[in-house]
A and B are shown apart, each in its own frame.
Chain A
Amino acid sequence: MACTPPGGWLPDKLGCAERPGMLYQVTIGARVVYVELRRAGDRVFFKVDDGPEQPAQLLQVHGPLRALVLGERRVELLAAVQDDVVRLTIGGLEYGAEVLDEAHARLASVTSARTAGHARRELKAPMPGLLVKMLCQVGDVIEAGQPLAVLQAMKMENELSLPRGGTVTSIGAEPGQTVEQGQVLVVVE
């Protein structure tokens, strides 16, 4: 259902409206989605990228279980905030979303390499173990999913990779070294 809200879209960004529309930059994996939210009384309307505006509702059922209504579409999901990321599970699939408002997304993009969505990525040891191999070195341009290191834990060798590519800027451990859970092994920017 396409919905035409009273008052039009973002009448005045400089803010005489009680609660102006907000533009959010949401980064999920390699995807960046712009979500505009506008509140009118008790109602919320959303717009994705340049799509049509539709009403939206996110209702808490219990704990992390939520019912999402987008236009006429209903979706059941789990959602929680963990380590600065909104984690969501929809249809059995998990998504990690980084959410920035427009002002901060812009600020981040001009001030540093810490652009939301293209931020520095750290490959951390997911568990304590023995670093068997380091498969990259500083300066390497790596692709998403490319094996970067091999960690032996639980008697199994695990290839570690990052969900996004970039350039390796530092290496945090050497082969043969025992590493702690959470120890940074590779930094990619």
Chain B
Amino acid sequence: MFRRLLIANRGEIAVRVIRACREMGISPIAVYSDVDTLALHVRMADAAYPVGPAPAAESYLLIERILEAARQSGAEAVHPGYGFLAENADFAQACIDAGLVFIGPPPKAMRDLGLKTEARKLMHAAGVPVVPGTLEPLNNIDEVRRAADEVGFPVALKAVAGGGGKGLRMAAEPAQLEASFRQAMSEAGAAFGNASVYLERAIQRPRHVEVQILADQHGECVWLGERDCSIQRRHQKVLEESPSPAVGPELRARMGEVAVRAAQAAGYTNAGTVEFLLAPDGSFYFLEVNARLQVEHPVTEEVTGIDLVREQIRIACGEPLGYDQSAIRRRGYALECRIYAEDPAAGFVPSVGRLIGYRPPAGPGVRVDSGVEEEAAISVYYDPLIAKLIVRAADRQQGLERMARALREFLILGVKTSIPLHRWLVAHPDVRSGNVDTDWLEREWSAAQASGLPDEDVETAAVAAALLVDSTRGSGALSAAAPTGDGVYSAWRLAARQAGLR
């Protein structure tokens, strides 16, 4: 086993990997940018190396700096986490060239799967169902028109190098094709440095169901069950659960087998996720392979009892899995909410600032994966994920109730969070019944819904605010705390002075 492992990431996922290292007796090494000098992942590591200024492009994304830190630290392996360099085949190759073990799939598999048209060709050849559409990138609007006529409207134009909904545009009818093609290309070029797009039929009201797989370097590959991530906003997952309320044992087994076939067709090893679109009629189509550990991996860990990061490290080290499909057991239900620093009442705009207060929930079946503590800053530089809140319960009903309880316990002050949205979600009848699809949240969520966010404690908050102001009145405490200017509190100081004169 490795003695030292460098984590080329920050935040909650770096903390997650550090914890696995500790449990395996591996010494964890961190890297950090200038604004992360005192971050939790840095403090938890055995050693930490600066890699540059705050912008990720000048620090966490610089392959040379990361490799230099690995060399200095004497690390034998590199875990990329998710995001940043995690799906960068050049980085994986650079690690290997530097004599380091990259904890992830082989660079060739990453390259083949990273380009969607290549992946579609590979899967099509392996007998994995793909969404009807083109297997090659489209070069001009004439090709787009011809392809759209062949597969039928509505169609989706997707970035070849895409992911996360960037470079994705829909066209419901021929008149929208040209604008969608242009927008998809320009967004793809900006986000991925590759403007190529291809076309697929848009599956109506699909669910997003993905299958976690583990493949070792000795030919063993198992599937660990599905995660349903249908509740999305702008193609970003908001809530993830397992098992899916739309997947029965027979469909699960079929999806699992197809996922394993997909992974093997790509020569995939390590942990990976095969994403599918599940149509209302029960047919499912290959979407893409996420060649990394995913944000929502804890959901699968909770229902299978398998530590995915530990397995990743073992596989990368060359160990055999040591079990086969028959050993995989799933039990109960798990659900994850991604708690973001963003304001659901104001268009989900990211909310930056210092966490003045942070009190995460705890208790039975509750897991919080986070890279922050009280006083931590949520900056503009990185993903505004504050924490992942995962609950485990005997069944879906209890899981939703447990999540509602945990969300109520989660107290964060200083930035706006997505907790009000999550509270609204877990109480929603459609979510309760499991009757959702990937467009459900966009359809349901509007300004009207934003004003319908839970606010049952407004009067309680008003009394608390009045008590707080009243208790500091005239004592000087408030004056010291309040900023100067012509705001409410200067009026307050005036009032206090007048009261003193009376």
Contacts and interface: CB of A to CB of B under 8 A. Distances in A.
Interface string A134-174: 00000000011111000101111011111100000000000
Nearest to B375: A63
Given A86-B468, A94-B412, A153-B380, A126 B351 contact: yes
Nearest to B481: A81
Interface in B428-457: 447-448, 450-451, 453-457
A78 B488 contact: no
Contact of A92 (B166, B348, B409): B409
A26 B466 contact: yes
B357 A104 contact: no
B78 to A, nearest CB: 25
B413 A80 contact: yes
What is the predominant secondary structure among interface residues of chain A facing chain B?
A: strand
B463 A95 contact: no
Most chain B C-beta atoms within 10 Å of own C-beta, residue among A46, A56, A91, A101: A91
Interface string A39-55: 00000101010000000
A176 interface: no
A133 B482 CA distance: 35
A13 interface: no
B191 interface: yes
B451 A144 contact: yes
A155 B230 CA distance: 23
Given A44-B467, A83-B483, A161-B447, A104 B380 contact: no
Given A65-B359, A78-B356, A143-B447, A155 B166 contact: yes
Given A79-B413, A91-B408, A94-B417, A31 B458 contact: yes
Given A91-B457, A94-B413, A103 B466 contact: no
B44 to A, nearest CB: 22
Contact of A87 (B413, B469, B489): B413
Given A92-B409, A93-B420, A147-B347, A103 B495 contact: yes
B459 to A, nearest CB: 5
Contacts of B349: 126, 151, 158-160
Interface string B471-502: 10000001001110101110110010000001
A17 interface: no
B81 interface: no
Contacts of A83: 483, 487
A112 B338 CA distance: 43
A75 B460 contact: yes
A78 B420 CA distance: 16
A28 B458 contact: yes
B394 interface: no
Interface in B389-422: 407-414, 416-417, 419-420
A74 to B, nearest CB: 11
Given A84-B489, A94-B412, A160-B346, A99 B359 contact: no
Interface size of B as a range = 35 or more
A94 B485 CA distance: 25
B464 interface: yes
Contact of B466 (A35, A151, A181): A35
B64 interface: no
Interface size of A as a range = 35 or more
A48 B459 contact: yes
B447 A146 contact: yes
Contacts of A48: 459, 462-463
A128 interface: yes
A92 B408 contact: yes
Contacts of B462: 26, 28, 31, 33, 35, 48, 97
Contact of A100 (B374, B464, B491): B491
B423 interface: yes
Contacts of B491: 100, 104, 108
A143 B482 CA distance: 31
A118 to B, nearest CB: 14
B352 interface: yes
B190 A155 contact: yes
Interface in B238-297: none
A77 B420 contact: no
Most chain A C-beta atoms within 10 Å of own C-beta, residue among B351, B488, B489: B488
A158 B407 CA distance: 25
A85 B455 CA distance: 18
B350 interface: yes
Given A58-B468, A155-B190, A89 B412 contact: yes
A163 B461 contact: no
Contacts of A81: 468, 478, 481-482, 489
A87 B462 CA distance: 10
Contact of A46 (B451, B463, B485, B488): B463
Ranked 6 nearest A-B pairs via Cβ = A145-B447, A84-B487, A97-B465, A78-B357, A33-B462, A64-B357
Given A90-B461, A91-B457, A128-B380, 19 more contacts: A24-B466, A33-B463, A46-B463, A48-B459, A56-B467, A58-B471, A63-B374, A64-B357, A68-B463, A78-B357, A78-B359, A80-B356, A80-B414, A84-B487, A87-B413, A90-B464, A91-B456, A93-B420, A95-B465
5 contacts: A35-B466, A79-B468, A83-B487, A86-B465, A87-B414
